[in-house]
Amino acid sequence: MKFHYPFALLIIAISLILISWGYTGHRTIGQITESYLSPNAKAAVKDLLGDESLADAATWADEARKFPELKETANWHFLNLPLGLNFKKFKNMVDTMKQANVYSALIKAQETLKQKDTPKKEKINALKFVLHFVGDMHQPMHISRAEDKGGNTIQLNYEGKGTNLHSLIDTRLLEHRGLKYDSLAIKFNNIPKRKIRKWQKTPIIKWAWESYQISSKLYAEVDEMKSRTIGEEYYNKHIGMVEERIQQASVRLAGLLNEIYKDGYVSETSGN
């Protein structure tokens, strides 16, 4: 799995269809993350991204996979598993999975950033993958079943409009109040220090496990529904979970970058 791609692909039109926490969710995570970066991590991000913000860079991985040169990355955004696993079986299946997935892709991108001799252009791509995949891993429907494509084929009617379980969780609930990502970042960035410390200590495999547990509950709720028409009650019941997953993704992403650059960052002036 390599992260070395033509530099021209780093600038891609944002009009392409976005998935996985949607445009709003990923950019909210990116903006919140910036407030928790260490000075070393901020310097590294600035050197790699230039004037591009974490919020802007956070959607690149969804855009980039539309190009033939990056089509293999489409499978890097999710993790398909059967329901009913305990943590031991879950971890074993993830660790032994041969197909590239969001967990393996995140680990690989993280290692790419740590390697001192990696060309700068490859590190730029790796950073953008890390930004995105931490978000994807915290979107519950990205750690779910293959047979319904992560809830994409489970049809629902939300507030009079057709949708599906995946879109409901990653976009519709988050955008329910009509707030843009910068407003949501301000609203959600009220995280107690004790939670930040606790969340940042959690190993990456547990991030996926948390989403798996949540998606299992979401599936069970749908199975119990007498009607697939839902509204404000569903929003009120689940928006707290969506907010917390975005908060967790934000502080954990910051913690990951702070750890990578804890000993400082050496800028590379060239690389190919």
Domains in the chain (CATH in brackets) are 17-260 (1.10.575.10)
Q: Which of 14-28, 118-132, 217-231 has the lowest mean pLDDT?
A: 14-28
pLDDT at res. 21: 60
Give the pLDDT of residue 67. 79
What is the C-alpha separation between 176 and 65, in angstroms, rounded? 27
Long-range contacts of 15-20 (CB under 8 A, 24+ apart): 16/62, 16/63, 16/66, 17/66, 18/59, 18/62, 18/63, 19/62, 19/77, 19/170, 20/62, 20/77, 20/78, 20/132, 20/135, 20/136, 20/139, 20/142, 20/170
Out of 69-73, 189-193, 220-224, pick the least confident: 69-73
Lowest mean pLDDT among 61-65, 87-91, 103-107: 61-65
pTM: 0.90
List C-alpha distances in Å: 157 to 19, 166, 241: 19, 13, 20
pLDDT for the residue numbered 265: 78
Tokens of 101: 């997935």
Query: What confidence category does residue 6 fall into, taking pLDDT thresholds of 50, 70 and 90?
Result: very low
Residue percentage of the chain with pLDDT more than 90: 82
More confident residue, 209 or 19: 209
Mean of the pLDDT values across residues 91-118?
Answer: 96
Q: State the pLDDT at residue 272.
A: 45
How far is Cα of residue 38 from the mean position of the Cα atoms in its chain? 21
Average pLDDT over residues 236-259: 98
- Specify the pLDDT at position 268: 65
pLDDT, position 270: 42
Residues 255-263 have a mean pLDDT of 96
Q: What percent of the chain has pLDDT over 70?
A: 90
What whole-number distance in Å separates Cα of residue 248 and Cα of residue 251? 6
Least-confidence region, from 2-6, 62-66, 261-265: 2-6
Regarding predicted confidence, which is higher, 70 or 183?
A: 183
Residues 168, 121: Cα–Cα separation, whole Å: 35
pLDDT at 24 over 60: yes
d(CA 220, CA 224): 6
Q: Report the chain's C-alpha Rg in angstroms.
A: 18
